[in-house]
């Protein structure tokens, strides 16, 4: 059967000039079959969708990447040698259709159908222009597949993908985060008050964001409870206390930032008008998929694990945040240290201090990527080449550590928050790595 290879101009934006790595494929397909272009094209569209759709902050966006990744994988799983659905390993409730073993399927068509449907459902509130982009991509890919199978095979494949995606979307509606883009705060939530507890922070002094996200259903049963960190240092205004010294470090660092420090803080801040955290992280994965020339099936496994890890990391982190409700650095520096006009390099998000979302996310993702590509993996992230230049790393651990500590440099987290967040994220990633994609 003739296989098609798509060329997309957008790939040029994510392809590094050099990237040295040795890939370990324990969790990937045994063989290469279809080109990954369908997966790459859809994930590149997600960069635009999460950037241009109201309410898709990093929390809501990672949920979308997780369900999209699962739909992508399940739509091609029957075409993977020794592949199996992962749904039996997740929280109960998903009933997926099965492919007919007596009939032929063209798996890129199945992936295209699945991604088109799940994307329309997840981004139901997007702009007319972006909704049109979803339809255009589906139609463009379908047209390019015309000579890759009989009309019956292509239609059967696309319908199978759509059925898979529809089942997954129905399951997603019961996780506690359905249509969260409409309501990221809750009038029913009242933040506790008292010494050392979180208070709204400048410049917006906004309501606490996603106060109940830690109660959402995770993909992996019991994940939030199994990954909670130790308690943070006891709040104190005593200059000799661990807590006071941690806050003073944030202030001291802010007074002597080098140009490199500021660049690192902004590179990982994913500021308004740029990509958000999950889009940036997924763009790193796309660079690896393209340059390693992974198959569609291999890419589907990787996007699935990566998306789930990000989603689970945020559920775990928000469970921690609203348990401890710890004060942010800016509040302490202004009121206790007495620097009333002090501001961090990047704006403080409107939710409690501990744990650090970025630390937990980055460590979880790094742990997943290590399981696929190995620990001693050198790579360059070209996401913000034009804005800040490239960032190169000799391992995924160094990537996670820099991303986590960028929040200390940026003035929005204490060192202990970043360090414990890395440990928490590692626990998340290890649980995600236990998912079995092969029989």
- Are 164 and 214 part of one and the same domain? no
To the nearest whole percent, how much of the chain has pLDDT over 70?
A: 92
User: Would you place residue 18 in the very low, low, confident or very high pLDDT band (cuts 50, 70, 90)?
Assistant: very low
Q: Which domain holds residue 260?
A: 191-433
- Are 160 and 202 part of one and the same domain? no
How many folded domains does the chain comprise?
2
288 has a pLDDT exceeding 90 = yes
pLDDT at 33: 67
Report whether 413 contacts 198 (CB < 8 A).
Answer: no
pLDDT at 153: 97
**CATH number for the domain harbouring residue 350:** 1.10.606.20
Determine whether 151 is exposed, middle or buried from the number of CB atoms within 10 Å of its CB (0-12, 13-18, 19+): exposed
Residue 11 lies in a domain: no
pLDDT digits (tens, 9 = 90+) for 371-418: 999 999 999 999 999 999 999 999 999 999 999 999 999 999 999 999
Residue 307 lies in a domain: yes
Residue 185 lies in a domain: no
2 has a pLDDT exceeding 60 = no
- Are 358 and 311 part of one and the same domain? yes
Residue 8 lies in a domain: no
| Listed residue (11, 52, 65) closest to 273, CA to CA | 52
pLDDT digits (tens, 9 = 90+) for 196-205: 999 999 999 9
- Are 355 and 401 part of one and the same domain? yes
Domain C-terminal end among 172, 205, 223:
172
Residue 13 lies in a domain: no
pLDDT digits (tens, 9 = 90+) for 351-361: 999 999 999 99
pLDDT at 15: 38
332 has a pLDDT exceeding 90 = yes
Mean pLDDT of 419-435: 98
pLDDT digits (tens, 9 = 90+) for 148-193: 999 999 999 999 999 999 999 999 999 999 999 999 998 899 999 9
- Across-strand partners of 98? none
| Listed residue (346, 285, 287, 290) closest to 310, CA to CA | 285
- Are 234 and 155 part of one and the same domain? no
φ/ψ (deg, to 5) at 272: -50, 135
Residue 180 lies in a domain: no
To the nearest whole percent, how much of the chain has pLDDT over 90?
A: 88
- Are 195 and 163 part of one and the same domain? no
């Amino acid at each position: 059967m003739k296989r098609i290879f798509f060329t997309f101009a957008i790939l040029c934006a994510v392809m590094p000039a050099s990237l040295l790595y040795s890939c370990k494929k324990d969790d990937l397909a045994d063989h290469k079959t279809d080109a990954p272009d369908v997966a790459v094209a859809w994930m590149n569209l997600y960069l635009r969708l999460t950037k241009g759709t109201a309410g898709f902050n990093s929390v809501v966006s990672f949920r979308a990447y997780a369900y999209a990744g699962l739909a992508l994988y399940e739509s091609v799983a029957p075409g993977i040698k020794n592949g199996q659905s992962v749904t039996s390993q997740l929280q109960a409730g998903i009933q997926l259709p099965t492919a007919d073993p007596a009939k032929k399927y063209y798996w890129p068509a199945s992936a295209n159908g699945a991604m088109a449907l799940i994307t329309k459902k997840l981004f139901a509130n997007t702009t007319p222009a972006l909704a049109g982009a979803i339809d255009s991509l589906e139609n463009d890919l379908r047209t390019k597949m015309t000579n890759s199978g009989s009309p019956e095979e292509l239609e059967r494949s696309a319908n199978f993908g759509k059925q898979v995606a529809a089942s997954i979307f129905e399951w997603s509606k019961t996780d506690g985060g359905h249509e969260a883009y409409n309501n990221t705060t809750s009038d029913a939530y009242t933040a506790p008050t008292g010494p050392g507890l979180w208070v709204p922070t400048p410049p917006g002094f906004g309501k606490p964001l996603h106060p109940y996200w830690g109660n959402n259903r995770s993909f992996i049963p019991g994940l939030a409870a199994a990954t909670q960190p130790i308690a943070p240092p006891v709040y104190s205004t005593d200059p000799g206390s661990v807590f006071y010294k941690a806050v003073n470090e944030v202030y001291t660092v802010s007074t002597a930032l080098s140009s490199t420090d500021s660049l690192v803080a902004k590179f990982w801040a994913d500021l308004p008008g740029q990509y958000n955290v999950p889009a940036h992280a997924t763009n790193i994965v796309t660079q690896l998929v393209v340059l390693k020339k992974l198959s569609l099936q291999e890419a589907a496994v990787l996007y699935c694990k990566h998306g789930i890890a990000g989603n689970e990391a945020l559920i775990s982190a928000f469970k921690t945040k609203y348990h401890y409700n710890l004060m942010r650095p800016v509040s302490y520096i202004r009121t206790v240290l007495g620097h009333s006009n002090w501001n961090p390099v990047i704006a403080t998000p409107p939710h409690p201090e501990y744990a650090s979302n970025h630390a937990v996310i980055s460590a979880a993702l790094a742990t997943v990527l290590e399981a696929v590509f190995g620990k001693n993996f050198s790579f360059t992230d070209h996401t913000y080449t034009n804005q800040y230049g490239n960032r190169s790393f000799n391992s995924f651990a160094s990537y996670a550590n820099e991303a986590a500590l960028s929040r200390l440099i940026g003035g929005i987290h204490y060192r202990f928050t970043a360090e414990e967040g890395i440990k928490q994220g590692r626990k998340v990633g290890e649980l995600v790595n236990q998912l079995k994609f092969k029989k």
